[in-house]
Structure 1
Amino acid sequence: MKTLTALALSTLMLHAQPLLEPATQAVEEALRLHEVAGAVTLVSQEGEIRHLSSQGAAHLENGTPMREDALFWIASMSKPITAAAVMQQVEAGKLDLDASIDRYLPEFKDLKGPDGQPATITLRQCLTHTSGMKDLEAGEGADLHTLAELTARIGPRPLDFTPGSQWRYCQTSINTAARAVEVASGESFPDYLEKHLFGPLGMRDTTFYPNEEQASRLATSYERQEDGSLRAVPLSFLFGKPVTSHDRYPRGNGGLFSTARDYHRFALMLLGQGELEGHRCLSPESVEAMSSVQTADLQTGFTPGNGWGIGCCVIQHPQGITAALSQGSFGHGGAYGTQVWIDPAKQRVFLLLVQRSNFPNSDGSNLRQAFQNAAAKALE
């Protein structure tokens, strides 16, 4: 069995893949410091994969090395996928970004603002975190099995602020948008995504509910301890159930699992203005809505210089962690450190997949910055 040190400094490649050595070195440093147990990184330019690396361990305790096809909980990287599904239904004329949400979900017809007065919210506000909706309390969703059950529970709750007046990251608003897709399409959200996005794009490993084979490739999640060691931790949203269980609602906000190659195909579709390999998933206008700022001058998170598009963070002023990216780059991070950035100006995609549960700010992690800076410099 390999030692931890050997795992941390090794790169396992299932096939001969292109490497940007500075990018692998940036990850190696994070592995050496036990910031993460392992990582899969991918960088492409003009549709060509220039770097694909699997480093470190998928499971420290039994010495399982990370694989290029390792499955990760991508958490909030699910949000752009949910946004794409909404935009498809907008294009079909079945949803309107600016209509009152109760047109599709009557459970919101008696919605009240923070002052107790009648209020309305829109899908645009749901997808830009400006709706004012309340999130569930910790552990509250354990008994929910469908998106319909979720919206029935949150629909009657008063808003935290007047819609459109603030930006506040909100999980329930994204799940509300996912439920609207179900109502508009007449399909369950998992079935809809498989039929209209994952299947057409060849994303065979992207799912809310991994099968046994996929689960065998799942990278273990770790929490960094005060002594610098890494301790395996469960995925909290599973509430102790196996990852293969269907006994949970399909979280459009952050319930998907995926691989580097799979998510890269979704990113390439967006980079291609909604088209990949002759298959059109979205119109250029829909991609424009996702990748352009919809939040005006509202201050948004989670790092400086950003605005928010439909389901995506948009870089307005590259700085700090986003300095290596062009203005207008867009994407999304995940709670356990995963990240995608799509850079239309330079036709690049950056993908970082890790599973670390307690980054102080996963969107501002040193690993993310080091990887992006190293990869971008190597491409120049």
Structure 2
Amino acid sequence: MALIKVDAEPAEVGFDPGRLARIDRHFRRYVDDGLLAGWTVAVSRRGRVAHLSHHGLRDLDAGLPVSDDTIWRIYSMTKPITSVAAMMLYEQGALELTDPVARFIPSFADARVYNAGPALNPSTVPVTEPVRVWHLLTHTSGLTYGFHHAHPVDEMYRLRGFEYSVPPGVDLAGACDLLADIPLLFQPGTEWNYGVSTDVLGRVVEVASGQPFETFLAEQVLGPLGMDETAWSVAEDDLDRLATLYMRGSDGRLVANGLGEDATRPPLLHAGGAGLVSTAGDYHRFTQMLLRGGELDGVRLLGPRTVAFMTRNHLPGGADLEQIGRPIFAESAFRGVGFGLGFSTVVDVAAGKVLTSPGEYAWGGMASTAFYVDPVEEVTAMFFTQFLPSSTYPIRSRLRALVAQAVVS
């Protein structure tokens, strides 16, 4: 078990301990005011953990506190892990970023783009270029999520059974064939839209590697990194460690959300975009591998040039998400933030109005989890809780400011 532990005094790695303590003072109020059940926050610099704290409960009914070994649903924080897997195959020559997705999923050869009309009778046009692997990595594929409720294509997803889950009895290959039959939201490569792109990328990994996606991830990414507690579901013996997923009830109090039950049983479909549960210790190892340029404890998953390439802005024309992104929910700010191969990346700190560094890369999850890596200051920070939806509180921006203001040397 990869438990995370403090191994540096704040001053040793350039933090002011008094300023670092502001993190806990701020986020404790979320629990004390009944906004969150509990949380974990961890901050490291130069590869050493300088701050680790927990507050509140992982299960309100059982009175169980958040602890080092609490298991969290990380939802979209699965996406960077899947993206690393895809880029490992790129490094091995198993795929090109410019490859049409149809090379791996033939049903995408017939993709069409929404033009006009209602969800039940849409007008479509041919794609001007095929959906490519880099479109999946950057969310410029034209794929979407059914839960956006922003466009007729989103409704088409819901009509086919794709909202917060997938149609019953459908595996990853079958889901991708069904998705390929739904019109794209826009021409590939022309806009950014948060959607099932990384789920489809998981199928690409599956075909390119010749292994089931979940096997490749376990054997080539999670296992080598020592992320032994990161999995597609929680074993029965460990269910008491799984934090309850909460939302706000009609009376304003926290109530359990039924979506949380999905983590208690093995899935038929292993979703590259949202499937994993993890611990703070495990995900910390993933962030340290990234910070160190693809290597951790003698295990190298990626070359440093590949990590640098993944975490630069790949949006067309160097645009930020404000300029090219659809105005929908996502686990990132839009202004001053671009998107790389699996991560948001800061391109203009002043435009974003959040205290951080140029080149900071990050992502978060639907249950209000978040992480970021600041390669300039060599800082990583993670926040874990279980609350829907993640857009409710400004956790991500506050975390960045509270950590950055504590760096004094």
Q: TM-score, normalised by structure 1?
A: 0.88
Q: How many angstroms does 1:88 deviate by? A: 0.5
Distance in 1 between the 2:164 and 2:38 partners? 28
Distance in 2 between the 1:254 and 1:247 partners? 12
Q: How many angstroms does 1:155 deviate by? A: 1.8
The alignment partner of 1:113 has SS state of strand
Range 282-291 or range 83-92, more displaced = 282-291
Match of 2:174 among 129, 134, 149: 149
Match of 1:289 among 309, 313, 316: 309
Letter of the 1:347 counterpart: E
Q: How does 1:1-380 map to 2 (within 5 A)?
A: 20-114=20-114, 115-118=124-127, 119-135=129-145, 136-137=157-158, 138=163, 141-171=166-196, 173-225=197-249, 227-235=251-259, 243-295=263-315, 296-297=318-319, 298-300=323-325, 302-303=332-333, 304-318=335-349, 323-359=354-390, 361=391, 365-380=393-408
Report the CA distance shift for 1:67/1:133 in structure 2 as closer, same or farther (over 3 A). same
Report the CA distance shift for 1:182/1:322 in structure 2 as closer, same or farther (over 3 A). farther
Letter of the 1:285 counterpart: R
Would you say the 8 A contact 1:321–1:369 is kept in 2? no
Report the CA distance shift for 1:319/1:70 in structure 2 as closer, same or farther (over 3 A). farther
Distance in 2 between the 1:38 and 1:320 partners? 32
The alignment partner of 1:223 has SS state of strand
Would you say the 8 A contact 1:306–1:315 is kept in 2? yes
Tell me how many residue pairs correspond in the alignment. 360
Would you say the 8 A contact 2:73–2:278 is kept in 1? yes
1:163-217 Cα shifts (integer Å, max 9, x gaps): 111111112x111111000001111111111111111111111111221233221
Range 81-90 or range 140-149, more displaced = 140-149
Distance in 1 between the 2:165 and 2:240 partners? 29
Distance in 2 between the 1:257 and 1:211 partners? 11
Report the CA distance shift for 1:29/1:140 in structure 2 as closer, same or farther (over 3 A). closer
The alignment partner of 1:342 has SS state of strand
4+ runs deviating over 4 angstroms:
13-19, 319-322
Would you say the 8 A contact 1:145–1:247 is kept in 2? no
Q: TM-score, normalised by structure 2?
A: 0.82
The percent of aligned pairs where both chains have the same amino acid is 31
1:101-152 Cα shifts (integer Å, max 9, x gaps): 1111112122223342245101111111111124432266141442111112
Would you say the 8 A contact 1:102–1:108 is kept in 2? yes
Report the CA distance shift for 1:294/1:321 in structure 2 as closer, same or farther (over 3 A). closer
Would you say the 8 A contact 1:205–1:214 is kept in 2? no
Distance in 1 between the 2:258 and 2:46 partners? 37
Letter of the 2:142 counterpart: G
Report the CA distance shift for 1:83/1:322 in structure 2 as closer, same or farther (over 3 A). farther
The alignment partner of 1:266 has SS state of helix
Distance in 2 between the 1:122 and 1:32 partners? 47
The alignment partner of 1:373 has SS state of helix
The alignment partner of 2:406 has SS state of helix
1:281-309 Cα shifts (integer Å, max 9, x gaps): 01122212321000021434641211000
Distance in 2 between the 1:207 and 1:56 partners? 24
Distance in 2 between the 1:132 and 1:163 partners? 6
The alignment partner of 2:382 has SS state of strand
1:41-78 Cα shifts (integer Å, max 9, x gaps): 10000000011111100011121111121110011111
Distance in 1 between the 2:241 and 2:182 partners? 40
Would you say the 8 A contact 1:142–1:248 is kept in 2? no
Distance in 1 between the 2:61 and 2:337 partners? 39
Distance in 2 between the 1:312 and 1:15 partners? 26
The alignment partner of 2:110 has SS state of coil
Would you say the 8 A contact 1:26–1:367 is kept in 2? no
Report the CA distance shift for 1:139/1:81 in structure 2 as closer, same or farther (over 3 A). closer
Would you say the 8 A contact 1:70–1:217 is kept in 2? yes
Report the CA distance shift for 1:80/1:343 in structure 2 as closer, same or farther (over 3 A). same
Q: How many angstroms does 1:225 deviate by? A: 3.5
Letter of the 1:309 counterpart: G
Cα RMSD for the two superposed structures? 2.2
Range 313-322 or range 290-299, more displaced = 313-322
Would you say the 8 A contact 2:144–2:193 is kept in 1? no
Report the CA distance shift for 1:16/1:317 in structure 2 as closer, same or farther (over 3 A). closer
The alignment partner of 1:28 has SS state of helix
Distance in 2 between the 1:155 and 1:28 partners? 45
Distance in 2 between the 1:192 and 1:345 partners? 32
1:4-23 Cα shifts (integer Å, max 9, x gaps): xxxxxxxxx99888784221
